[in-house]
Amino acid sequence: MTDSYRGQVALLIDFENLVFGLQDTHGEDFAEFLDPGLLMRLAEEYGQVVVANAYGDWRSRDLNQFQIDLYRLGIDLVHVLARKQLNRMKNAVDVKMAVDAVESVWTLPHVKTFVIVSGDRDFIHVLKALRRHGRTVIGVSPDQAVSEDFAGLCDRFVRYGALSATLMPESASAAARAESTANIEDVREALRTLLQERPGGIKGAQVKPLLRRKLSATFDESEYGYTRLTDMLAAMSDVVRVVPDLRGGDVSVVPADSPMDGESAAPGDYPAAAMLAPRSHHPWASRARLGQYAFDADAGQRRKILLALFHTMHEREPFTLAEIFARVVQDSDTRSVTISALAKYQHILWQSRVFVLERDQQDKPVRDRLMRLEPGIRTPEELVRRYEASIAYKLHSAARGGAERLTPEILASVLGLGADPEALEYCAGLMPVRGAMASGDAPRPTPGLAAEAAEIGNLG
């Protein structure tokens, strides 16, 4: 078996259960709180999603209004006829979903992670079967349908409401953290107790299982507005300190006041620990909801990824995004370049119309479609420009109707380009009000791109 099978994921969604759970919480306005993209983004955090099914009776208006959204995400609709019970259609997908999950153990042995979206306690028998066969199980449930038994059998469990707050822009995450102030003190106290019992520190991989045992089987950092546990720990610097293993192994979590070993072990000598601190967001980026696209304000890192994507796509035309992402991850020498991270670039590139589909590809999931770069994208500089022009357009759209107007200075700040004349001239050329999105004007040089290309190597 080749390494291409590593990190593959199956996403199975009991869509009826999710819809009914949100209806119980939000009533008739439930549709405003249901975003299937959040489930796909969660699954992508664990690798390449090779199976994505949403189960339900798609005759129901409550469900079928989301069909287009699911289709665009590459999620297949599995139709299961429901039966009416009292005044509601009874969820009838449990057996079909359970059979598909267990059958996948034999038919798709390379899939090692299952993201199961269901609040049904009866599904725990399937979770036990998956775990017996060495599969990692990520569970998601609507807030009103959380079962401790279901959550306890998951390697990670997330409430849908917390997931939504975590994967939204920084403003939403900040609100979620503010609402959880009382509860987060319980986490602080649990960490203090755990470190008193283990004064030598705790390996990073052990922290979450210990917290789940100490607090609740449903514990997850997303309930407190954090995408990663490391972000939560970094925000508790008065309680814990995260120390990287200089040999590349797992980090250690130690008490905040514990002494450091050796003179060189000063806080500034731990660059990996500094990376754990949550990144602040520009207010205009939050207003334009760029957090939904995992927009990276670090221009150097963002452009390195775009350059690597261009180089790989240009070599392999026609290509599928699935194979491009896998190749870029394989060639990368940094852990931050993952399938999930690249998938978030896909959304803006797709909206920027940089791809041209081969014939007869419309019925396939987006990542499995054969495509080429649009003929106008002949250099990596042009791909970077098209991506950043899309960011400019999103910022411009967010500013409409407001008192403030997008300016080259604001755009340069959001893009992380500085305020020198070259950067401001470049940003002026991206401004949507000047028709930059579809302009035939000669593009201005992309500042700093040549040096970044040289760092990557033969990107042309």
Distance separating alpha carbons of residues 138 and 125, to the nearest angstrom = 15
Whole-model pTM over 0.75: no
Find tokens 């789940």 and name the residue. Answer: 212
Find tokens 């089987």 and name the residue. Answer: 217
> Per-domain residue ranges for the chain?
3-167, 174-274, 283-456
pLDDT per residue over 391-418, tens digit each? 998 888 877 656 678 889 989 988 988 8
Q: How does the average pLDDT of the chain come out, rounded?
A: 76
Q: Give the model's pLDDT for residue 443.
A: 52
CATH top-level class for 3-167? Answer: alpha beta
Helix (H) or strand (E) holding 161: helix 160-167
The beta strand positions in 358-450, using DSSP E, are 371-373
Distance separating alpha carbons of residues 357 and 378, to the nearest angstrom = 17
Question: In this structure, how many other beta carbons lie within 10 angstroms of the beta carbon of residue 88?
Answer: 11
pLDDT at 218 over 50: yes
Q: Do domains 174-274 and 283-456 have the same CATH topology?
A: no
Produce one character per residue of 263-283: b if its CB has 16 or more CB atoms within 10 Å, e if not.
Answer: eeeeeeebeebeebebeebbe
CATH 1.10.8.50, applies to 174-274:
no
Pick the CATH number of 283-456 from 1.20.120.1790, 3.20.20.70, 2.60.40.10, 2.60.200.20: 1.20.120.1790
Question: In this structure, how many other beta carbons lie within 10 angstroms of the beta carbon of residue 208?
Answer: 15
pLDDT at 182 over 50: no
pLDDT at 316 over 80: yes
pLDDT per residue over 112-165, tens digit each? 999 999 877 778 888 999 989 989 999 898 876 667 778 888 888 888 877 766
What's the token pair of residue 274? Answer: 């500094």
pLDDT per residue over 338-369, tens digit each? 776 777 788 788 888 899 888 887 777 777 78
Distance separating alpha carbons of residues 250 and 258, to the nearest angstrom = 19
The beta strand positions in 129-215, using DSSP E, are 136-141, 156-159, 202-203
Q: What is the C-alpha radius of gyration for the chain, rounded to an integer number of angstroms?
A: 23
Higher pLDDT, 446 or 21: 21
Using DSSP bridges, classify how beta strands 76-79 and 83-85 pair: parallel, antiparallel or unpaired: unpaired
